[in-house]
C-alpha cells in the first residue's frame, strides 16, 4: 500500500542517513583529535582510567627530576670521598716514612698537616645545591633508619587506588675531622670492670679475664633517657643535646689491643642490636677470634673474653656527631712515638674513607637503576594509555571513505523515497 500521508521509505532512508551522519561526525572527530576516546562521553570508564594513568605519568616526570638531582648530589659526595681516600693514602706514606730513624720527621709532619688541611677543604666543598653528605651537617634520618636523606623514587598505586610515595635512602658519611660530643657513661659503657683498670686480664684462671658491654640507655620522646630503642633525631619530644642516652646516628667506638671498631646506632636499635652490631664491627675490624671470644648469648650484652696469657688493653667511648676521620686531627709524626701511634690508627681512617666511597657508589648505582626504570615505566604507561584511547588512523581513514559513500547513497535513497508519492498522481490522470 502506498500512502501520501506517511512515506515509510523516506522515514527509513532519513533514519539511515542520520545514523551515517552521526558515525561520520564521530570518525571525523577521531581523525582530527587522534583519539577514539577523547571525552568522557566517548567511553566514561576507559576515559577515567586514562586520566588516572596520565596523572601518574605526570607524577613520574617529577620523580625523574628528583632522581636526577639525587644522583648528582650523590655523585659529588662519591667523588669527594674518593679524593679523600686518595689523600688519606698519601698521608699513610708520610706516616710509614716517619718510622725510619734517619728521616726529617718535622718536614713529614708539615706535609701531613698540609694534606690534612686539603681533606678539610674537600669535605667542606662536597655539596650540591647546599646539601653536604660528608661534613656531618646532615642530621635527618632517612628511610633506612640512618642519618641521611631520602630521594623520591616512585609512586606506588594499589588496587584500591591508594597512592603512596616511595623513596631511596642515602646514608650520610661523616668524613669530617671533628671529634664529636662525648656521651656520658650512662648512655653506653662497659659494666663493672674487675681486675686491672682498662685491661682485659690474662686468661690465667682468674675471674677478670673478660669485660661486658652491657650499659645502654636511649633517649625517649619525652625529653628524657628512658627509652628502650634508638629514636630518629627528628622525633618530636626528643632532646638531642641530652648526653645521657643514645639516639640514631650516635657512634660507639671500641678498641681491643690494636683493633679499633666503630658502630653507628641505627633507628630502632635495641641493646641487643647494638651488642650484636659491635660484635660484627670488631670481627670486620680484624679481631683475632682465636684469642678473643665475642659472646652475645645474653640479651643486650656483649661479653669479650681474653684467651691469651697476657693482659690486653681496651677502651670504649660513645659520641654524637663524631667525624670518621677524627683520628687525623691529633696525628703528630714529628716524633717516633707519634709516628708509631699514627701507624696504628691510619688503617682505620683509610677503611672509613673507603667504606664511605663504596657506600656512595652503591647509592649512586641504585639511583641510576631507578632512574632508568622510571623512564622505561613512563614510556610503557604512555603506550598503555595510547592503546586505550588513541584512534586507529588506518581504520578511521577506511571507515571515513566508506561512510562518505554511504552518505551519498543515503542521500540518493532519500531522494528516491521522496519522489515515490508523486507516482500516485499518474493514477488519477
Give CA–CA dist 186/309, Å, rounded.
32
pLDDT (tens digit, 9 = 90+) per residue, 324-339?
888 898 899 999 999 9
The residue from 268, 302, 322 where one domain ends is 322
Do 167 and 225 belong together in one domain?
no
> Mean pLDDT over all residues of the chain?
88
For residue 339, is it within any domain?
no
- Domains in the chain, number: 3
The whole-number average pLDDT for the span 13-22 is 83
Residue 346 inside a domain? The answer is no
Q: What is the mean pLDDT of residues 62-89?
A: 94
Residues in Cβ contact with 21 at an 8 Å cutoff, skipping those fewer than 6 apart: 407
Residue 266: pLDDT band by 50, 70, 90 thresholds?
A: confident
Both 104 and 205 in one domain: the answer is no
Q: Is 343 a domain residue?
A: no
Shared domain for 316 and 186, answered yes or no, is yes
Provide the CATH number for the domain around residue 75. 1.20.1330.10
**DSSP annotation string for 296-316:** --STT-EEEEE-SSS-EEEEE
Distance CA 71, CA 96 (A): 37
pLDDT digits (tens, 9 = 90+) for 210-220: 999 999 999 99
Instruction: Work out the widest C-alpha separation in the chain, in whole angstroms.
Output: 144
In a domain, 61, yes or no: yes
Same domain, 397 and 274: no
Both 24 and 148 in a single domain? Answer: no
What's the confidence (pLDDT) of residue 205?
A: 67
395 belongs to a structural domain: yes
Tell whether 208 and 239 lie within a shared domain: yes
Q: Is 379 left (phi over 0), alpha (psi -120 to 50) or beta?
A: alpha
Q: Which pLDDT does position 216 carry in this prediction?
A: 96
Q: Residue 168: name the closest of 364, 375, 372, 381 by CA.
A: 364
Per-residue pLDDT at 28:
79
**Nearest Cα to 211, choosing from 305, 278, 298?**
305
Residue 69, class by beta-carbon neighbours within 10 Å (0-12 exposed, 13-18 middle, 19+ buried)?
Answer: middle
pLDDT tens, position by position, 302-323: 999 999 989 999 999 999 988 8
Domain that holds residue 380: 46-171+360-384
Reported as a pLDDT band with limits 50, 70 and 90, residue 412 is confident
**241 inside domain:** yes
> Is residue 192's pLDDT more than 80?
no
Do 379 and 397 lie in one domain? The reply is no
In a domain, 337, yes or no: no
> CA quadruple 271, 276, 277, 282: dihedral positive or negative?
positive
What percent of the chain is modeled with pLDDT above 90? 47
Q: Comparing 58 with 13, which gets the higher pLDDT?
A: 58
Instruction: Check pLDDT > 90 for residue 204.
Output: no
Domain boundary among 322, 338, 371: 322
pLDDT band at 206 (very low <50, low <70, confident <90, very high): low
Strand 251-256, strand 163-171: pairing: unpaired
Kindly state whether residues 191 and 66 are assigned to the same domain.
no
> What pLDDT is attached to residue 145?
76
Mark whether 81 and 12 lie in a shared domain.
Answer: no
Does 302 lie in the same domain as 185?
A: yes
User: For residue 30, what are the CA distances in angstroms to 10, 18, 20, 36?
Assistant: 30, 18, 15, 5
pTM: 0.70
Candidates 78, 171, 112; CA nearest to 346 is 112
d(CA 263, CA 282): 9
Question: Does a structural domain hold residue 415?
Answer: yes
Query: In this structure, are 214 and 264 located in the same domain?
Result: yes
Sign of CA dihedral 85, 86, 87, 88: positive
Report pLDDT digits (tens) over 111-164.
Answer: 999 999 999 999 999 999 899 999 888 878 888 877 889 999 988 888 787 888
More confident residue, 386 or 184: 184
206 and 139 in a common domain: no
Amino acid at each position: 500500500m502506498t500512502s501520501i500521508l506517511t512515506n515509510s521509505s523516506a522515514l527509513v532512508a532519513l533514519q539511515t542517513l542520520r545514523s551515517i551522519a552521526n558515525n561520520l561526525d564521530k570518525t571525523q572527530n577521531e581523525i582530527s583529535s587522534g583519539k577514539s576516546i577523547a571525552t568522557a562521553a566517548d567511553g566514561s570508564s576507559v576515559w577515567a582510567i586514562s586520566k588516572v594513568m596520565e596523572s601518574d605519568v605526570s607524577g613520574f616526570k617529577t620523580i625523574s627530576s628528583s632522581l636526577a638531582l639525587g644522583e648528582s648530589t650523590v655523585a659529588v659526595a662519591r667523588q669527594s670521598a674518593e679524593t679523600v681516600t686518595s689523600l688519606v693514602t698519601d698521608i699513610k706514606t708520610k706516616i710509614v716514612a716517619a718510622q725510619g730513624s734517619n728521616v726529617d720527621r718535622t718536614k713529614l709532619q708539615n706535609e701531613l698537616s698540609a694534606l690534612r688541611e686539603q681533606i678539610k677543604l674537600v669535605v667542606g666543598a662536597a655539596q650540591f645545591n647546599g646539601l653536604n653528605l660528608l661534613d656531618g651537617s646532615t642530621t635527618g634520618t632517612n628511610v633506612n633508619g640512618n642519618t641521611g636523606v631520602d630521594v623520591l623514587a616512585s609512586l606506588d598505586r594499589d588496587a584500591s587506588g591508594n597512592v603512596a610515595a616511595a623513596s631511596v635512602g642515602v646514608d650520610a658519611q661523616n668524613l669530617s675531622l671533628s671529634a664529636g660530643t662525648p656521651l656520658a657513661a650512662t648512655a653506653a659503657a662497659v659494666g663493672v670492670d674487675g681486675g686491672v683498670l682498662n685491661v682485659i686480664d690474662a686468661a690465667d684462671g682468674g675471674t677478670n679475664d673478660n669485660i661486658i658491654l652491657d650499659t645502654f640507655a636511649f633517649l625517649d620522646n619525652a625529653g628524657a633517657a628512658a627509652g628502650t630503642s634508638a629514636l630518629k633525631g627528628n622525633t618530636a619530644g626528643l632532646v638531642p643535646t641530652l648526653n645521657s642516652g643514645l639516639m640514631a646516628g650516635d657512634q660507639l667506638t671500641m678498641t681491643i689491643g690494636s683493633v679499633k671498631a666503630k658502630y653507628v646506632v641505627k633507628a630502632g636499635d635495641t641493646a641487643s642490636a647494638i651488642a650484636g652490631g659491635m660484635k660484627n664491627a670488631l670481627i670486620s675490624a680484624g679481631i683475632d677470634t682465636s684469642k678473643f671470644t665475642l659472646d652475645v648469648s645474653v640479651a643486650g650484652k656483649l661479653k669479650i673474653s681474653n684467651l691469651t696469657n697476657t693482659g690486653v688493653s681496651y677502651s670504649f667511648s660513645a659520641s654524637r656527631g663524631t667525624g670518621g676521620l677524627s683520628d687525623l686531627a691529633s696525628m703528630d709524626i714529628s716524633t717516633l712515638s707519634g709516628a708509631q701511634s699514627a701507624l696504628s690508627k691510619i688503617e682505620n681512617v683509610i677503611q672509613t674513607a673507603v667504606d664511605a666511597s663504596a657506600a656512595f657508589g652503591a647509592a649512586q648505582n641504585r639511583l641510576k637503576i631507578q632512574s632508568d626504570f622510571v623512564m622505561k615505566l613512563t614510556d610503557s604507561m604512555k603506550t598503555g594509555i595510547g592503546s586505550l584511547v588513541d584512534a586507529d588512523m588506518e581504520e578511521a581513514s577506511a571507515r571515513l571513505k566508506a561512510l562518505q559513500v554511504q552518505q551519498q547513497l543515503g542521500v540518493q535513497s532519500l531522494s528516491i523515497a521522496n519522489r515515490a508519492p508523486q507516482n500516485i498522481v499518474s493514477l488519477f490522470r
